[in-house]
Structure 1
Amino acid sequence: MLSVRNAAAMLHCEEDGSLLALTDLARGTRWELDGDSLVYETAAPAGAAAGASGQPPLQRLTPVGASASGESSLTVAYRAGEEDVRLRFDMRERFVEVRLLAEGLKAAAAVSLPGSFAPAGESLEIVLPIMQGMLWKGKGEPFDWRLGESRHGGYSMPIVGYMSSTGGLLVTAETQDDLELRVVKRGNGKFGAAYMQTASLGTIRYDRVARLYVTAPDIVAIAKTYRSKIVEQGRFKGWEEKIAERPGLERLFGSLMCFIGYCQDDLDYAKECEKLRRFGFDRALIYPARFNTYNNDIRMGGLPPIHLSRETVAQIKRLGYDLAPWSWINEALDDKSAYVNRIYRKDAAGSRIPHWGIDDQRWYWCCTTFMEQFQRNANAGEFADMTWDHFDVIACAANNECHATDHPAHPGRPLSRTEDREWIKKLLVAGQNGSRAVSSEGFNDAYAAEYDLGSVKALPMFNRWPFWPVPLTSLVYHDSMIHSWWEMHSYNNPYFGRLNGSNMYEYGGGRPRIQASMDALMGTPPDVFPFGAQYMWTGKGSETFAYRYRFEDPEVQFALREALPVAQLHRRIGKQEMVHFKMLSEDGNVQETAFADGTRIIANFSGSLRGDIPGQDPVHAESWRSTL
């Protein structure tokens, strides 16, 4: 048996590399690395069968040996096909650093780093950074996911937390540019989650790093350990610092997130906003006011994109409201222009990459290296009257490689994801235009210093689905970022609701009471679609249709009534750190949070009155309350 240790933990394994485990010296918890989660992937040869996901099937790593260097470093070698994979475990002062050594790796296209852990002799719960955060106790049918960064259902932060009754373990992916999160439940009932480091420009061409931290056995300890790490690394930028640089960000707090549809409607938008003001909302984030894209000659459900005049924008701004364009520049219609043809992202075969489609219109991905200057030009010209900026999927799904060889920023060579990420950061800073708030589809902490609002949350539906939403992103980032709903998921908008592919959780809109309760619990602003026109897929091919909301609609009025006290709460606590979270009921439906000023929120997501919570007054169905 080989072993190394630091003040917090001891790592040990057999001399052949098997049975690797980490023991928490303070709590006694023994975390065992699941051998079945140690996997790799090679690039599939032409004609080879793919796995269920469409990717090459994963193969198990086989341990072949281990060696210790002094009392603080352990290297384990595994066999992966025709080559060796080596993981080096270095015992730092407060964590274990795990390094995947790239030297000698040529065939591997993905390698787990390090794999999934489970507590010896105890039950396992896993904290996942999906949506606003998920607690998973292993329920549900067997599945095998490989999730990308952010996206809808991807990971928001590169972490996984494991909890037993005695201890917790946090795994962080320190190298996160070429990364996937694998979440799996096998037919034998075993379940787990671990990150996989994937190829960069075809190979694992540089070392990859993860960290292991032992913690107390609760979600708050896992979240705060990660938060402390990013603060120490200089990666945390709080509201105080952001507002000092951009004072206009103060208007975010207490605002109504106000989506008004992609499509131009027959409305006096300024007068509609006056109705919101009379309702009691003195701050609102109105979007989109116009479309910022390469070609606006498009139709959605037969309607053109929304385009508010400068006069209308000025009238709305005089109400104290902020407006943003829809900056949709990650992809472009083929308008046959030389400019658009030049900026297309290319795959390894040199072909442009199709993405979005509406009716018979098709968009193709663009290379991020052109976007910063495009955005600066747009903000200096047509969109100079905007006061914040909203990007489509820039923080959500844009980070990727570009294999074009004629782009000035990477002439004669492909662009890696690591380089691409830096261009995305430059674009988000360009969106600030010196003083503006910036939002994007997708909550992604890779850009926490560059943007301010990220979207997409799950519905808190605890009685039906195995994944239980928890406010993980708020525990880490509440005093730095806002986690909003996807624009399609406003309180009054039930369109676009869906289950994830394996029936693990539900996300959508149109449930104002439970969405308001989730926003109160998380300390986030409310979201309503009060008026305007939008399009939706019919379910047939790429066919779409338009639908509309009006301020006077009963569902809009009800949503606004639910939203107003949430906005008032957010104005008071929106800049504060979330310091506490607890599930007050075993079924997950009653939860409590607290913020730095002492404000405590209790939310009941169930459909019935809950009078069974010790020490608490009864909580009405689908409701929340705050105390200070």
Structure 2
Amino acid sequence: MLEVKTNTIQLRMDDNNLKFSFGKGDTEWNWTSEYRPKMECKEGTVYFDEALEIHHELVQNGIGKGIRSSFAGFEIEGKKVPYAFETYAWIEECTEDIFFEWIPICEEGLAVEKLFWPGELELEEKRKDWYTLLNMQQGVMIPNDWETELKDIPFDGFFETAGGYMPWFAQFKGGNGYIAICTTPWNAGYQAEHPQNGPYTHVSVRFEPSLGRMDYRRIVRYTLIEDGDYNDACKIYRQYVKEQGNLCTLNEKAARVPSVNDLIGCSFIHKGIKTFVQPESDFFDPENPEKNNNLTSFAVRTREMKELHELGAGKLYLHLDGWAEPGYDNNHPDYTPACEEAGGWKAMKELSDTMKEQGDLFGIHDQYRDYYFSAESFDEDYACRLPDGTIPTHKRWAGGQQSYLCATQAPHYVQRNFSELEKNQIHLDGAYLDVFTCNEGDECNNPRHRMTRRECYDYRARCFDYLMSKGILPSSEEVSDWSARSLVFCHYAPYDFMLRKPGSPKYGIPVPLFNLVYHDCLIEPWMMEKIDDTEDYMLYALLNGGAPYLIRDGAYPDFDGSFEGNVKMHIMEDIKRCKVVTELHKKVAKCEMVSHEMVDGNPEIQRTMFSDGTKVTVDFGKQIYSIEM
């Protein structure tokens, strides 16, 4: 057994099985008995303890003390390969944070596909006050006694996607817990297991290669928490983001582009112009061809916006899909001109001018990842190429066959296309660049424009930053930690259950983990559907201090939370409900969400408090709310 200590932290490694444990005070955290450190490789599964040369040493330096281990001498089919790596687990003395580092030394002889280290921690007792926090979309808390099995984590838990808005998870035993922050999240994710009715939840990190190599040091930082809860975990992460220089508030963004202030208090409208589903698309319906294509003129949308004002809808933001000639999700990145059948540039300008005259805001849907074969500029040489030379393709969306545009090219196409919109005098307040903050970053191994996943996020951010430089507020599909510095708003940032069929069991207690970190940095529109007498999404909009959707016409049926069967209300009732949400949003949009709580420990009654003192309490059982200002 090897051990290092600081004032209050102990870190131990059993050199017989390579398992770690650490603790603070009376709370000890141990890797599970089933866990065995491993790498999944093209050559098969390779366990750390299969190395013929394993050495350990205690290390002390100017910033901390720890345990360094080296691993070499692996054999594949009886032949020794030179692959070697080190691990370093250490305690930083000034913060008492614990760092786990995996360092590649020689990458010859093995092709690692997934690395599972550090290990999952024991959380085995069936207790409601023992729980796990996952950043699966807005956030979920899974008590150890939760009745529903955890399934279907979006994007397999990959960090910086809808499955992991932020690159951390946390676990608590009553008031004592830890937060594990992956400080190198670009090629990493998590896996979690919670069986039906518990009695345990396990979660751990995995690392994946970058362009076929592990290439760089992989790090997870553990901060131990005493006498705290999930609020403390979120505030620890918020402080970490500040220290990295990545916390950019709406006030700071408004200083660059003042129209940020105009977006606050808007009701959001999601409408489209043209839908055209290619016959080879997975969404094409050969039995009901009338469902495949649809066209609404710009003039109709202009009239609808005027009518909403006459009804007293207040300030609106119109998000317009399918505004260009090819139709929604077709032909990108060659998307212009404006749809001729719908009235062309002239009619689109009339719509944008009308929105401006009414004091409303106008934005468009656009796409710079899906790279359609039908695009005139399509060139396979600019599609993302994997390390094995293959180019991923599919035909899921309306536009049919596609690959993925290497993000090194995206900023150039954004500038080209938005210059065309400007030339045609289309006034834009916002623009939605699809999937950038929902899907994982891409990699490209084409030597002409080689790109790592980390670089991909940088190129996507450049697209957002270009829009800001033109006074256009950038949006994307969901939210993601890497984009929070650049993004002003999003399409939505829902709880995971909202994107599943209504009535589906929840995988845990919905908790606003993302908003406890970033509420004052982004504007989030919220679904407002009333599912039935027991579930009204308006309550979540209020609890999160967000903006409301007045009308939300999803691009694809029964997809992305657009389901039939909700309670239908008169438009005047919808407007009335939205006004309640917008009035709150005007007050708290720029406020930090200071805390969230289950009132008297009851998850059916939740309360948020904002930095201006505003408190919002919702009772999901009684379907009521109260706002204290």
Please indicate the TM-score interval, normalised by the length of the shorter structure: 0.7 to 0.9
Q: CA 1:194/1:338 → structure 2, altered by over 3 Å: closer, same or farther?
A: same
Q: Which residue of the other structure, out of 494, 507, 512, is the alignment partner of 1:457?
A: 494
Match of 2:519 in 1: 478
What are the residue-to-residue correspondences of 1:194-593 with 2, within 5 Å?
A: 194-216=204-226, 217-261=228-272, 263=274, 264-266=295-297, 268-288=300-320, 291=323, 293-296=332-335, 309-335=348-374, 337-358=376-397, 361-383=400-422, 384-397=426-439, 399-406=441-448, 410=449, 414-454=450-490, 455-458=492-495, 459=497, 464-485=505-526, 490-492=527-529, 514-529=536-551, 535-536=555-556, 554=569, 556-584=571-599, 586=601, 588-593=603-608
How many Å separate the matches in 1 of 2:240 and 2:608? 22
Q: Cα distance 1:528–1:198, how it changes in 2: closer, same or farther (>3 A)?
A: same
Aligned-residue Cα RMSD (Å) equals: 3.6
Q: Deviations over 1:115-144 (max 9, x none)?
A: 322358795310111111100124333769
> Runs of 5+ in structure 1 lacking a partner?
46-55, 495-508, 540-545, 607-620
Q: 1:404 to 1:417 in 2, by over 3 A?
A: same
Preserved contact between residue 491 and residue 510 of structure 1 (Cα < 8 Å): no
Q: Which residue of 2 aligns with 1:117?
A: 121
Given that residues 296 and 305 in structure 1 are in contact (C-alpha distance below 8 angstroms), is that contact kept between their aligned partners in structure 2? no
Q: Post-superposition shift, 1:340?
A: 4.3
Tell me, yes or no, if structure 1 residue 147 matches structure 2 residue 147. no
- Secondary structure (helix, strand or coil) at the match of 1:125 reads strand
Q: Deviations over 1:184-214 (max 9, x none)?
A: 2469954311221111111211111111101
Please give the alpha-carbon distance, in whole angstroms, between the structure 2 residues aligned to 1:127 and 1:404: 38
* Cα gap change, 1:204 to 1:269, in 2 (>3 Å): same
Contact 2:334 2:377 in 1 (8 A): no
Identity %: 16
Residue by residue over 1:490-522, the C-alpha shift from the partner in whole angstroms, topping out at 9 and shown as x without a partner, is 434x9xxxxxxxxxxxxxx89996211101111
Q: Distance between the aligned counterparts of 2:214 and 2:563, measured in 1?
A: 47
Match for 1:182: what amino acid?
Answer: Q
The 1:563–1:469 alpha-carbon spacing in structure 2 relative to 1, beyond 3 Å, is same
CA 1:521–1:262: 2 relative to 1, 3 Å: farther
1:599 is aligned to 2:614: yes
1:6 deviation in Å?
A: 3.3
What letter is aligned with 1:75?
R
User: How many angstroms does 1:590 deviate by?
Assistant: 1.1
Structure 2 SS opposite 1:237: coil
User: TM-score, normalization: structure 2?
Assistant: 0.80
The answer to whether the 8 Å contact 1:391/1:440 transfers is yes
Structure-2 change in CA distance of 1:80 and 1:225 (3 Å): farther
1:435 CA drift (Å) = 2.3
- Cα distance in 2 for residues equivalent to 1:315 and 1:334: 35
Instruction: Determine the structure 1 residue equivalent to 2:625.
Output: 624
Q: Which moved more, 1:328-337 or 1:453-462?
A: 453-462
Would the alpha carbon gap of residues 21 and 268 (structure 1) be closer, same or farther in structure 2, given more than 3 Å must change?
same
Query: How far is the alpha carbon of 1:164 from its aligned partner?
Result: 0.8
Q: Quote the Cα distance in structure 2 between the aligned partners of 1:208 and 1:484.
A: 35
- What are the superposed Cα offsets for residues 384-407 of structure 1, whole Å, 9 maximum, x if unpaired? 52111111101221511112234x
Q: Which runs of 5+ in 2 are unaligned?
A: 76-82, 275-294, 325-331
Report the residue type matching 2:550 in the other structure.
V
Q: Secondary structure at the match of 1:225?
A: helix
Paired residue type of 2:523: I
Q: Sort the Cα spacing of 1:326 and 1:21 in 2 relative to 1 into closer, same or farther, 3 A.
A: same
The match for 1:97 among 82, 96, 99 is 99
The structure 2 residue matched to 1:34, chosen from 27, 32, 35, is 32
Asked if 2 retains the 8 angstrom alpha-carbon contact of 1:294 and 1:332, the reply is: yes
**Contact 1:3–1:10 at 8 Å: present in 2 too?**
yes
- Is 2:166 the partner of 1:157? yes
Letter in 1 for 2:522: M
Contact 1:290/1:305, CA 8 A, preserved across alignment: no
CA contact (8 A) 2:39 2:115 kept: yes
Q: Distance in 2 between matches of 1:232 and 1:179?
A: 21
CA contact (8 A) 1:118 1:162 kept: no
Q: How far apart are residue 38 of structure 1 and its match?
A: 4.9
CA contact (8 A) 1:389 1:432 kept: no
- Alpha-carbon contact 1:291-1:328 (below 8 Å) kept: no
SS in 2 for 1:101: strand
Q: How many angstroms apart in 2 are the aligned matches of 1:326 and 1:191?
A: 39
Q: Deviation at 1:248?
A: 0.9
Q: Is the 8 A contact 1:96 1:213 kept in 2?
A: yes
Question: Equivalent residue of 1:288, what SS?
Answer: strand
1:8-47 equivalences in 2 (<5 Å):
8-16=8-16, 18-25=18-25, 28-44=26-42
Cα distance in 2 for partners of 1:357, 1:224 equals: 39
1:506 corresponds to which residue?
A: none
Q: Is the 8 A contact 1:31 1:120 kept in 2?
A: no
- Pairwise CA distance, 1:585: 5.5
* 1:581/1:594 contact within 8 Å kept: yes
CA spacing shift, 1:296–1:438, aligned 2, 3 Å: closer
Query: Which secondary structure state, in structure 2, belongs to the residue aligned with residue 379 of structure 1?
Result: helix
Cα–Cα, structure 1 residues 115 and 339, in superposed 2: closer, same or farther, change >3 Å? same
Alpha-carbon contact 2:193-2:201 (below 8 Å) kept: yes
Distance 1:168 1:278, change over 3 A: farther
Using the alignment, how far apart are the partners of 2:518 and 2:36 within structure 1? 31
In structure 2, the partner of 1:69 is 59
Counterpart CA distance in 2 for 1:436 and 1:80 is 56
